[in-house]
Structure formats: structure tokens, C-alpha cells
């Protein structure tokens, strides 16, 4: 069966991040994860306390640099390690931990500007919350985007407000859409994060999240399963009252169904996450990333389906 999907270099049936980077930069590009010592509005009391119940003490930046080191030290130490594997690669400085626009523009400038024009740095990726985007911040990021490539990563996790409340997101889907619209007003590229397996969510609820995300004006998408990390609030909730979690097979089938609802121009930046193994409680199957990705590929081939084929079926000519 011939694969006619156009956005792949390695016979995938979805728009791979590898394809995006290779066709844009014509070389290997690696992300260097940084901890810029921010916090979140649902941690410090502005919107709530404790952060998202699934989030660990590192604010989703378990693999980011050491916050005790300055940003350039973090960048140099990690990029040198990557250079051993890919001697000629370029880099994206990835501000990953916590909410990286939760500060004044002056503070943001002090964090981001040192990476503009830095040798071998082709862009800056900024993980944040949609409710931490103001007009002033969006305008600054648009200016920054004229001097280096800027990629915004917005945590959504779910479109269902009842779930968001349960996990202490302290953000509604309507609020998310306002922040996204502000970023797109300034023509900034946005990648959205969603999580499968949040407590209380059914298969159809997770599918509906993908369906609604597929209607948004976004350029990228990251999907991963819920991780129950040791010593998080969610971990203690689970120990006290266990809730259903996705099996490996359920997750793979769900991701395939979700991809079919996402327009093919949207870059799929991730289909599994990188939980810190020593801190992971459940699901144990999520550790084996390569086999999960391979089995997603196999199921798409078996079903003869592609990213976006449920919303634009005429795009693909399927041949035996």
C-alpha cells in the first residue's frame, strides 16, 4: 500500500515535526530545554494554589536546565552534549518550565533577547498559558519574531471546563481561545498541548477535544497520555480513590482517531511525552516511546488512514 501523505520524510501518515524542521532549516535542529525561573498563576495565588494536579515540582520542565544556573550556562552545557550526537545541528532555545510569559515585558526581554542572533540558534520556543498573553506581550513577541523564529506552545490539555477545574487548571476553554486569538492577531505560530486520560474523561470527550482543536487556528499539536507522577496532588488523589487510566492499546487507538480530525497542515510535534522514569507512577507502558510510535504507525497503515482524512477525505488518494 503506497503512502501518499505529503508531509513526511520517513513514511509516516501524519505531518511530522522532523519534516517541518528539515524542510524549513535544511539541517538537524534540536531543542535545548531551559528553566527561566518563572512560576504559574495557579501556583502563586493569582488564580489558585498548587498548580495543575498532574504537574510536578519542576512545572513540566523535568528535563529543563538547572534553575540555579544562568540561562546561557544551561544552554551551553546542554547544547554541547547534543553536539556530540549531531555535530552540525542547529538549536531552538526552548523555555519549557512553568509559564514563560507570566512576567512583565522587561523581564521577558531579559530572558529571551540573549538568544537572538546567537550562533547556531534558529529560534525560540516558549511554553506558556493562554491567559498569560496580553496585548503588550503579544506585540513584543511579534517584534521578537522579526529577529528570530518564535514558536508559542500553549497548554490546553482539554476543552472540557469541568475536567480543567478538577485538575486545577484555573483556565476555561473560552479564556484559552481569547489568548490564542491574540497571538494569531500578531501572526505568531502556536502549538497546542492536549493530554489523553485526564480523570473523569471518556473516549468521546477526548475525541471531542481533538475535534475542537482541529477547528482552531493553530500550527502545531502535541499529544501525550496522562502521567501520574509520584508526590503530585494527582498521585495522592489516585492512591486514595483510583480512577480508570488508559491502556496502551486504548491510547494508540485514540491517538489514531484524533489525528484523523486534525488538518494535515498542522505539525504533529509529539505523540508521546518524556516523563521522568524515576518519578513516574503510572502508566508504566508509556516509558517505551519508540514502540508506541511504531504501533501508531502500524495501526494507521492497517486502517489505511491519514491525518485529517475525516475532515478532508478528498486530499488523499488511497492505492492498494
Q: What percent of the chain has pLDDT over 70?
A: 94
Which pLDDT value is given to residue 240?
98
CA 32 from chain centre, in angstroms, equals 15
Task: Determine the Cα–Cα distance for residues 250 and 295; give it in Å rounded to an integer.
Answer: 12
Rounded CA-CA distance 260/267 in Å is 13
CA distance 42 to 142: 26
Buried b (16+ CB within 10 A) or exposed e, 157-166: bbbbeebbeb
Grid-cell match 484555573, residue found: 170
User: Could you tell me the residue ranges of all domains in the chain?
Assistant: 17-311
What CATH superfamily classification does 17-311 receive? Aldolase class I (3.20.20.70)
Which residues, 6 or more positions from 5, have their beta carbon under 8 angstroms from its beta carbon? 12, 13, 14, 264, 306, 307, 316
Q: What is residue 152's predicted lDDT score, i.e. its pLDDT?
A: 99
3-class DSSP state of 151: strand
Name the burial class of residue 97, with classes exposed (0-12), middle (13-18) and buried (19+) by CB atoms within 10 angstroms of its CB: buried
Q: Which residues of the chain have pLDDT under 50?
A: 59, 61, 316-320
71: Cβ contacts below 8 Å, ≥ 6 apart: 34, 36, 65, 111, 114
What element of type H or E holds 139? helix 135-145
* pLDDT value of residue 66: 80
Amino acid at each position: 500500500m503506497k503512502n501518499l501523505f505529503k508531509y513526511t520524510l520517513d513514511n509516516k501518515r501524519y505531518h511530522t515535526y522532523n519534516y517541518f524542521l528539515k524542510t524549513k532549516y535544511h539541517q538537524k535542529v534540536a531543542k535545548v530545554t531551559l528553566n527561566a525561573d518563572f512560576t504559574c498563576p495557579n501556583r502563586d495565588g493569582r488564580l489558585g494554589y498548587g498548580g495543575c494536579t498532574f504537574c510536578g515540582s519542576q512545572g513540566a520542565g523535568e528535563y529543563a536546565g538547572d534553575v540555579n544556573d544562568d540561562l546561557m550556562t544551561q544552554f551551553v552545557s546542554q547544547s554541547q552534549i547534543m553536539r556530540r550526537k549531531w555535530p552540525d545541528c542547529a538549536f531552538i532555545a526552548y523555555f519549557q518550565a512553568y509559564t514563560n510569559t507570566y512576567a512583565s515585558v522587561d523581564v521577558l526581554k531579559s530572558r529571551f533577547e540573549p538568544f537572538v542572533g546567537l550562533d547556531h540558534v534558529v529560534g525560540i520556543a516558549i511554553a506558556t498559558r493562554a491567559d498569560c498573553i496580553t496585548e503588550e506581550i503579544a506585540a513584543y513577541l511579534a517584534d521578537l519574531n522579526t529577529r528570530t523564529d518564535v514558536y508559542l506552545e500553549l497548554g490546553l490539555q482539554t476543552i472540557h471546563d469541568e475536567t480543567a477545574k478538577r485538575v486545577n487548571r484555573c483556565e476555561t476553554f473560552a479564556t484559552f481561545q481569547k489568548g490564542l486569538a491574540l497571538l494569531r492577531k500578531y501572526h505568531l505560530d502556536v502549538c497546542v498541548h492536549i493530554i489523553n486520560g485526564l480523570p473523569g474523561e471518556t473516549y468521546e470527550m477526548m475525541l471531542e477535544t481533538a475535534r475542537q482543536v482541529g477547528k482552531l487556528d493553530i500550527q502545531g499539536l502535541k499529544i501525550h497520555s496522562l502521567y501520574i507522577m509520584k508526590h503530585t496532588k494527582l498521585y495522592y488523589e489516585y492512591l486514595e480513590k483510583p480512577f480508570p487510566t488508559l491502556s496502551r492499546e486504548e491510547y494508540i487507538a485514540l491517538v489514531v482517531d484524533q489525528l484523523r480530525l486534525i488538518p494535515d497542515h498542522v505539525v504533529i510535534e509529539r505523540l508521546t511525552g518524556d516523563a521522568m522514569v524515576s518519578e513516574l507512577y503510572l502508566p508504566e507502558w508509556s516509558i517505551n516511546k519508540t514502540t508506541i510510535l511504531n504501533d501508531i504507525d502500524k495501526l494507521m497503515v492497517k486502517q489505511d488512514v491519514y491525518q485529517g482524512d475525516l475532515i478532508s477525505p478528498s486530499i488523499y488518494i488511497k492505492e492498494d
